[in-house]
Amino acid sequence: MRKNSIRNRGVRRKNKVLDLDITSLLDILVILLVFLLKSYDATGIILNVSDEITLPLSQSQSVSSEGVVVQVSPQKIWIDDDEIVNQNTRNPISRGIIQPLYDELVSKKNEIKSIQKTVENAPKFTGLVNLVVDKTLKYNYVKTIMRTCAEAGYQKYKFVVRGVEE
């Protein structure tokens, strides 16, 4: 009899197991994994923002970098959670800079540089200041703070703002 007879037309033949080659899929997954690991940033900054500071809103997002944190409210100035200037400080502004802020910033810079000299893998001085400024402050005062930071050797600024939640 013939194999292709009318009787055998409705009978299904057993299919052979197909071998699927997933080598190229694994290559793509490894490339994606490497890309995601390279683009992952685990060095975010945790800031303790004072209750006296009302941050402005922003829709832009940026990865923060390590640097000195200067917080400014209408009455006080902090550097890394240490109060530097308050209402009782007499004549903090002289020659266009805030003298107590300047002195503390120079002290921080010298401390970072001395640690950098003694420890091999210590973070380098970047000249970066993270400014946490109350939104009610006048621009001239913010400009005075920035000038003080620049005079102390900090040439890069990042403003910390509160992001708009979606």
What's residue 43's pLDDT? 60
Nearest 5°: the CA angle 118, 124, 128 is: 140
Unique residue bearing structure tokens 């683009």: 39
The average pLDDT across 4-32 equals 75
Nearest 5°: the CA angle 130, 133, 136 is: 165
The average pLDDT across 150-162 equals 86
Unique residue bearing structure tokens 């009782």: 88
Each residue's pLDDT tens digit, 108-151: 999 888 888 888 888 788 888 988 888 888 989 899 999 999 99
What's residue 106's pLDDT? 92
Confidence of residue 41 (pLDDT cuts 50, 70, 90): low
Q: What percent of the chain has pLDDT over 70?
A: 77
pTM (2 decimals)?
Answer: 0.60
DSSP character string of the chain: --TT-GGGSSPPPPPPPPPP--HHHHHHHHHHHHHHHHH-----------TT--PPEES--------EEEEE-SS-EEETTEEEE-TT-S--EETTEEHHHHHHHHHHHHHHHHHHHHSTTPPPP--EEEEEE-TTS-HHHHHHHHHHHHHTT--EEEE--EEPP-
Rg (CA), the chain: 30
What's residue 8's pLDDT? 64
Task: Report the relative pairing of strands 93-94 and 82-85 from DSSP bridges.
Answer: unpaired
Task: Determine the residue type at 6.
Answer: I
Confidence of residue 105 (pLDDT cuts 50, 70, 90): very high
Task: Determine the residue type at 139.
Answer: Y
Confidence of residue 22 (pLDDT cuts 50, 70, 90): confident
Burial class (CB in 10 A: 0-12, 13-18, 19+), 11: exposed
